[in-house]
Structure 1
Amino acid sequence: MSDDRRVVIVGAGPAGVRAAQTLVAAGVRPIVIDENARWGGQIYRQPPAYGGFQRSKKTLYGFEARKADALHTTMAALLPHIDYRPDTLAWACEADRLDTLQAGREISVPFSHLIIASGATDRVLPMPGWTLPGVYTLGAAQVALKAQGCAIGRRVVLAGTGPLLYLVAYQYVKAGAQVVAVLDTSPLSQQLAAVPRLARVPSTFAKGLYYVGWLKAHRIRIERGVKLVGIRGAQNVEAIEWRASQNDSVTETISCDAVGISFGLRPETQLADLAGCRFRFDALNRCWLPEFDAAGRSSVRGLYLAGDGAGIAGADAAELAGRRAALALLDDLAIPHPRGPGMRDAASLERSLQRIAVFRAGIETAFAPPAQCAAQWPDDMTVCRCEEVDAGTLRRCIRGGEANEINRLKALTRVGMGRCQGRMCGEAALLLLAEETGRPLEAVGRLRSQPPVKPIPLSPAMYADNVAEIPVEARDE
């Protein structure tokens, strides 16, 4: 790879793999940095190569087994033509360099062109008891099932909102786990109102209906429009408390030993932020997203965005966006687009992405997180578990007039300064700040990212024999 063509892809999920495939077909050898041990991302996560258990792709991925197999097979064929770096964390990004951690060592990776396909994580909204052992995100519940061959508990309640709620419930019951209830905070009327837009992608809509119908046929309790009161337990989860929308004065209790919670997904935008991308507030996703054009070009020259890391759109859209970003990169390098089986032109990719965008708008409408939930949080409830900051501490700081912007609140209370760097508590702090100041979410600021975006060890091994910058050519050899 020549000095002026140092192409790097962060992420080996659907977007990253399809971007790599497109580049390789055009004669470009990219570096693909993957935090996981095996490619596939979260949606098509593979079990460990030597995990000690065997599960078929049909069992792991259900209706998506063919798509998962196609992606896995494609990446396997690409390995001789790319510089693939698994188990590698990209923890910081500058204008022309990524800082990564691989095998306990810090390695600086220079680039001329970068595709960020960083994916998404669960949107977490706290509730009393959410820090008890036995409480997981839905994403973590999937990791346990796909990568470790186990469930998160013996009696599991899945709570929150979003299509992932029903998918995980279906996957758990199919695997033999006991799901005692699915508690959805979104009312049925809200979900029905979104049907016209959801019907724009009938195959995906039909799968969602199937999951719900299958769960009901197997007598899994589903409650919609609920208000989650809290999770009870002394040392571990013992029960979850909730109220029905039609009878808000009565609190119901369900006995369980594990709870999976999520309120949809939120993009992982930290690397784009550190690289200097401009951001805009997206009212539909209720979060700040990096700006990019239809081709995936960001506001930073040579930096492209694809997949859920640029805005939640799902695995199918991620594959399309990965291809589209790679085509844009090839245009900027004046390299002809590849032709052949599986290769689509830019206009066709953009049309498909626009159609999926209408569907995704329906999803966000159908499963919007509960509004004004921050007003119900008790003062002694932990908001930032890393720094042990509770809601009362945040309220006192805001009501005292010391902070009316999120980064000021962070500086004064340390909310979002811990190991998760605000990835778990940042949205909760924003919601509380907006509630207390009576302003819309976009008016209270955007939590600025700081490196490292995820925890890294501070040990002598990290620096032993470290090279400040390893040329791409040397890595390729």
Structure 2
Amino acid sequence: MTEAAGPRVVVVGAGPAGIRAAEALVAGGLVPIVIDEGERAGGQIYRRPPQGFTRPPEALYGSEAAKAVALHQTFDALAAAGRLVHHPRSSVIAITAERLQALDGMGSRWISYDRLILATGAMDRVMPVPGWENAGVYGLGAMQIALKAQGAALGRRIVLAGSGPLLTLLAVQLLKAGGQVAAVLDTAPMRQQLRGFSGLSARPLFALRGLMMRRSLGRLYHAGVQLDRVEADERGPAAVLWRDEAGRSQRTACDAVGLGWHLRAETRLADLAGCDFTYEETWRQWLPKADAMGRAGRSVYLAGDGFRILGADGAEVAGRLAAAACLQDLGFPVPDMAADKRRLARLNRFARGVAAAFPWPAETAVGLPDETMVCRCEGVTAGELRRTVDFGGGEVNRVKSLGRAGMGRCQGRYCELAAAEIVAGSAGHGCAAAAGRLRGQAPVRPALIGALIQDAAADG
């Protein structure tokens, strides 16, 4: 379709934040361009299966089915009416001088913008465990995507380990789908989980629903565990060795393992767009700076889990706020956003409660055995990281240049947080923030050289 005259606003990401941002922009009189890696809008949390998939939304999204369907229908209706431009199955791999480079099956295209809303979401936050580099060990998010998109359980006897709401949710989803879950191993002790109660009380019904899910797992669920090793053979995982809260050694046989400690924000594009960052102790990761509406600098706005990890409901609110800020800065009238600001503050209290209840186990990273693989892309162990610190200094980019940790296909998305803890501990910093953060660089996704030199379109 031909775009309407007026400011060109690009939204990157078509999850809850991106969909609500696009909806608000359309309501304000614009025709936004929405770029998304998925074939159909919905994001990871509300990922849609292929056309013709027979499982109903209730089976895919549980209690969130109505929200998921409403988002899907909203976006599809706007796209069908030509009120937005949708580029599916497209990855933004570079941003420079108010232009972004998007890669799709036809090659790459450069798209200019007057305003940019980044709704890039989040991904699994994974802690290395000895043996996790073996085939058959997945992120919790990957297991959930396979279940939603294809109705497939990645394993016949599965151990789920880590901490955070997704750990319980995925276990329940797998069991409802007929999967066999051998154990759910939560590294957060019960006493730690209780520390988040005041924050979790900001959404009592949501918290109660989580407790009911937890109760339904019965003896499968174990809190306060320590993960020792994933045993594997030529066929993949054979067992997880762990210690219970009393320190007793346990061995649970399995043929697949899912790991995840809540989420880490996807911030590479925010980095390329020139956003400033700050280390957030609550989430123990670097996050981009923005005001309450999502303004993050000249022409750039942030929304969703790529900005603050507030979950799907928070992403919807943040998407509307970012779009309102964008419209306001362009001189368009906007509705009163006071109610959304209050709701976002309440969701933020809840998210901080989740972070307090299910913390990132930084001390575990610092104490990983030397032989533990930390960077799976480049095959760098914890011991090699520590030796690099000894002669290279306690800064993660220096360690990367000397020892290659974080230099592989994922650009440190899986290893950076644990590596920073190891570097900080080895250098005696006391806090991972002192080790710095890996600098983002284009392309932020692996790209074929042929696709980069083949222009799909000149602009847009």
Alignment TM-score > 0.5, same fold: yes
Corresponding residue number in structure 2 for 1:327: 324
Give the aligned partner of residue 144 of structure 1.
146
Runs (4+) of structure 1 exceeding 4 A deviation are 1-4
Cα shift readout 1:111-137 (whole Å, capped 9, x = no counterpart): 110000000001011111101111000
Contact 1:419 / 1:455 at 8 angstroms: preserved in 2? Answer: yes
Distance of aligned partners of 1:437 and 1:3 in 2 relative to their CA distance in 1, 3 Å threshold:
farther
Residue 414 in structure 1 maps to residue 404 in structure 2: yes
Shift of 1:374: 2.4
The aligned counterpart of 2:227 is 228
Give matches, 1:133-282, under 5 Å: 133-216=135-218, 220-235=219-234, 236-247=236-247, 250-282=248-280
In the alignment, residue 5 of structure 1 is paired with which amino acid? P
Corresponding position of 2:315? 318
2:365 paired residue among 365, 374, 387: 374
Give the match for residue 364 of structure 1: 355
1:464 CA displacement:
3.6
Give aligned pairs, total. Answer: 454
**Contact between 2:4 and 2:30, CA under 8 Å: does it hold in 1?**
no
Q: How far does residue 4 in structure 1 lie from its aligned partner after superposition?
A: 5.9
Other structure's SS at 1:416 match: coil
Shift of 1:3: 7.0
1:289 aligns with 2:287: yes
User: Do the aligned partners of 2:106 and 2:456 also contact (CA within 8 Å) in 1?
Assistant: no
CA distance in 1, matches of 2:309, 2:454: 39
User: Which residue type is aligned with residue 220 of structure 2?
Assistant: R
Which residue pairs with 2:384 in the alignment?
393
Q: Deviations over 1:44-81 (max 9, x none)?
A: 0000125xx41100000000001001101111111021
- Structure-2 separation of matches of 1:118 and 1:385: 23
1:450 is displaced (CA, Å) by 1.2
Cα deviations by residue, 1:6-50 (Å, 9 ceiling, x for unpaired): 100000000000000011111100000010111100110000125
Q: Distance in 2 between matches of 1:325 and 1:391?
A: 40
Q: 401, 404, 419: which one pairs with 2:394?
A: 404
Helix, strand or coil at the partner of 1:81:
coil
TM-score (ref. length: structure 1): 0.93
Q: Is the 8 A contact 1:104 1:462 kept in 2?
A: no
Q: Is residue 277–residue 288 contact of structure 2 (8 Å, CA) maintained in 1? A: yes
Contact 1:95/1:276, CA 8 A, preserved across alignment: no
Q: Secondary structure of the residue that 1:140 maps to in structure 2? A: helix
Q: Distance in 2 between matches of 1:166 and 1:44?
A: 17
Q: Name the counterpart of 1:342.
A: none
Secondary structure at the counterpart of residue 165 of structure 1: helix
Partner letter of residue 243 of structure 1?
R
Instruction: Tell me if the contact between 1:273 and 1:449 (Cα under 8 Å) persists in the aligned partners.
Output: yes
Q: Distance in 1 between matches of 2:151 and 2:245?
A: 36
Q: Deviations over 1:404-461 (max 9, x none)?
A: 11110011011111100011111121011011112111111111111111111223x5
Query: Contact conserved, 1:380 with 1:392, CA < 8 A, in 2?
Result: yes
Verify the 8 A CA contact 2:4 2:31 in the aligned structure 1: no
Answer yes or no: is the 8 Å Cα contact 1:124–1:261 preserved in 2.
yes
- TM superposition shift of 1:261: 0.4
CA contact (8 A) 1:123 1:265 kept: yes
Counterpart residue type for residue 228 of structure 1: L
AA partner of residue 8 (structure 1):
V
CA contact (8 A) 2:366 2:421 kept: no
* Equivalent position amino acid for 1:138 in 2: L
CA distance in 1 between counterparts of 2:354 and 2:233 reads 36
1:268-308 Cα offsets, whole Å, 9 max, x none, are 0000001111111111010111110011100x211000000
1:305 counterpart residue number: 302
**Cα pair distance change 1:403/1:2, threshold 3 Å:** farther
CA RMSD of aligned residues (A): 1.3
* Alignment counterpart, residue 427 of structure 1, candidates 385, 394, 417: 417
The answer on whether the counterparts of 2:108 and 2:454 sit within 8 Å (CA) in structure 1 is: no
Deviation at 1:462, TM superposition (A): 4.7
How far residue 192 of structure 1 moved from its aligned partner, in angstroms, is 1.4
Contact 1:172–1:178 (CA under 8 A) maintained in structure 2: yes
Q: Distance in 2 between matches of 1:37 and 1:85?
A: 9
Displacement of 1:357: 0.7
> Is the 2:15–2:44 Cα contact (8 Å) retained in structure 1?
yes
Please list every run of 5 or more consecutive structure 1 residues that lacks an aligned counterpart in the other structure.
339-344, 473-477
| Partner SS state of residue 387, structure 1 | coil
Shift of 1:380: 2.0
Give the Cα separation in 2 of the matches to 1:266 and 1:333. 31
Equivalents in 1 of 2:149, 2:348: separation in Å?
A: 30
Q: CA deviation at 1:375?
A: 3.5
Cα distance in structure 2, aligned partners of 1:310 and 1:321: 9
